[in-house]
Structure 1
Amino acid sequence: MTNSTSKPTTVFWIIGVIALLWNIMGVVAYLAQAYISDEDLAILPEAEQAYYNGIPAWVTAAFAISVFAGLLGCITLLMKKKIAVILFFISFIAIIVQFVYNFFIQDFMEISGAARMAMPIVVIIIALFLIWFSKDSEKKGILS
């Protein structure tokens, strides 16, 4: 087993912990959507009820893969393992699959409005940043 050649900086640890917290929130969001109760669903407007009732299994799977791969990516990043790069890439691909459905197949914009467009953009930017950050950390010898 090889050891890291470079010691991680404080910034590495701060980014890693913030990314971990971000991905934990993603897991919570997935669990809330996947296990929404009938009572909670009934409170939502009709359009959102129809949206949640009509989500195909492959989209739910993409959501699950994106958040759990991101979470595992953060854990392995903090463990200074190279596999973090692959996990962040898998998470990003699953995010794109999910958002293709939301924006091009299901027309999420009609249901949620333009104001909710910000969150998917933030998710994509953070996912791309984590891919770059983990690759950069690998290049610097922090990840082994």
Structure 2
Amino acid sequence: MLNNQDNVKTPWHLYIVAVVGVLWNSGGGFDYYMTQTKSADYMAQFTPAQLEFFYAMPTFIVCCWAIAVWGGVLGCLLLLLQKKWAAPVLLLSWICMTITAVRNYVFSNGMEVIGDPISLAFTATIFIIAGLLAWYAHSLNKAGVLS
């Protein structure tokens, strides 16, 4: 399939990466929504200390978390539509995810409250995937695939 820029062929993997990215980031969106609305059924999986940690997050960090999550969804949708804005949106998502994780695990008691090996591995996975999505969109943008 050719895109609009100089007859550059759209790589077949763009659609797979974009759809999987939307689904992956939608999982983060679900977690964000359920946590922010304090859904009793969803929040029942957490300890009282974890609930206190989540509910005491500073507004700035909640905003970074929101930008990370919803920026990931939007960035992958823009990638699916082959729009060049996917790259900066996904980069912003990754930056905000990094700020949130550093605050939660380094500058607060998050390591103590939610720092089990599975949670740390999952956070690292999120960090890596967000970074790879930003890099992928940037690479496609440089190659002229996105318009």
Partner of 1:83: 85
Partner of 2:133: 130
Partner of 1:119: 122
Task: Classify the secondary structure of the residue corresponding to 1:58.
Answer: helix
The aligned runs of 1:17-32 (5 Å cut-off) are 17-32=19-34
Q: How many residues align?
A: 143
What RMSD, in angstroms, separates the aligned Cα atoms of the two structures? 1.9
Extract unaligned runs of 5+ from structure 2: none
- Output the amino acid matched with 1:3: N
Q: Distance in 2 between matches of 1:82 and 1:68?
A: 17
Runs of 4+ in 1 over 3 A off after TM superposition: 37-44
CA deviations over 1:110-132 (Å, ceiling 9, x no partner): 11223210111011101110111
Partner of 1:66: 68
Task: Classify the secondary structure of the residue corresponding to 1:105.
Answer: coil
CA deviations over 1:68-115 (Å, ceiling 9, x no partner): 111111111111111111101110111111112111122212112232
Partner of 2:37: 35
Richer in helix (by share): 1
Q: Distance in 2 between matches of 1:118 and 1:45?
A: 19
Task: Classify the secondary structure of the residue corresponding to 2:82.
Answer: coil
**Compared with structure 1, are the counterparts of its residues 46 and 14 closer, same or farther at alpha carbon in structure 2 (3 Å cutoff)?**
same
